[in-house]
Chain A
Amino acid sequence: DQQVKQNSPSLSVQEGRISILNCDYTNSMFDYFLWYKKYPAEGPTFLISISSIKDKNEDGRFTVFLNKSAKHLSLHIVPSQPGDSAVYFCAASLNNDMRFGAGTRLTVKP
């Protein structure tokens, strides 16, 4: 029972363009949402988060959007850079229970 889903296993974009990574969840009780970035042979690194009381949070090139009615969140990266190439995990949290999506591999081509 996967409560958090990332339906696109991979995404390829051109350097300088926008990258949009999507995530859907099923449990409307989740109250905190996060994106992590992971390079090979390293642990996931926290990128950006959003509380369920907000619909947008921005940090530099990264913006997370939350649509609670659709149970959907997305991560926008503008402009995309080759160093952004990594696997991105979305996560949803309720108390101590954090559920992760399966990840989307982003490739940014020079």
Chain B
Amino acid sequence: DAGITQSPRHKVTETGTPVTLRCHQTENHRYMYWYRQDPGHGLRLIHYSYGVKDTDKGEVSDGYSVSRSKTEDFLLTLESATSSQTSVYFCAISGQGTDTQYFGPGTRLTVL
């Protein structure tokens, strides 16, 4: 298994509060991604990073921001959580942008 961990694994929060999810990898891969998984939608890309301090938006980036200060860590922040952001969030990594992506175990976020 690729060395990818996500923290926390579960979180319950209230509407309007900030939330930060962390993805940590030990593979030294250049690319890191954040997805959300919702019923009927599969996985949708939120943001991705192609290097330290290099990030770009994905398909569903509104309401989310990311940061990557080290190769191994990619943070996803919900500035002011809303109930529509209740979802399961997956981090993924790949060696190159077109390579196979390997996924972490996921974080289940509930916004009340």
Interface residues of B, dominant DSSP: strand
Complex contact B98–A44 (CB within 8 A): no
A98 interfacial by beta-carbon distance below 8 Å = yes
**B43 touching A96, Cβ below 8 Å:** no
Whether B43 contacts A44 by the Cβ 8 Å rule is yes
Question: Measured between alpha carbons, how far is A30 from B33 in the docked complex, in Å?
Answer: 19
What is the size, in residues, of chain A's interface with B at 8 Å between Cβ atoms?
26
| A-binding segment of B63-71, B79-87, B103-111 | B103-111
Complex Cα gap A102–B38 (Å): 9
Residue interface bits B93-104, CB-to-A below 8 A is 1, else 0: 000011011111
Chain A interface (Cβ < 8 Å from any Cβ of B): 2, 4, 6, 31-32, 34, 36, 41-46, 49, 89, 91, 93, 95-103
Among candidates A2, A4, A95, residue contacting B97 with C-beta atoms closer than 8 Å: A95
Query: What are 29 A-to-B residue pairs whose CB atoms are below 8 Å?
Result: A4-B42, A36-B103, A41-B106, A42-B105, A42-B106, A43-B4, A43-B90, A43-B103, A43-B104, A43-B106, A44-B43, A44-B90, A46-B101, A46-B102, A89-B43, A91-B43, A93-B98, A95-B97, A95-B98, A96-B31, A97-B58, A97-B59, A98-B45, A98-B101, A99-B45, A100-B42, A101-B42, A102-B40, A103-B42
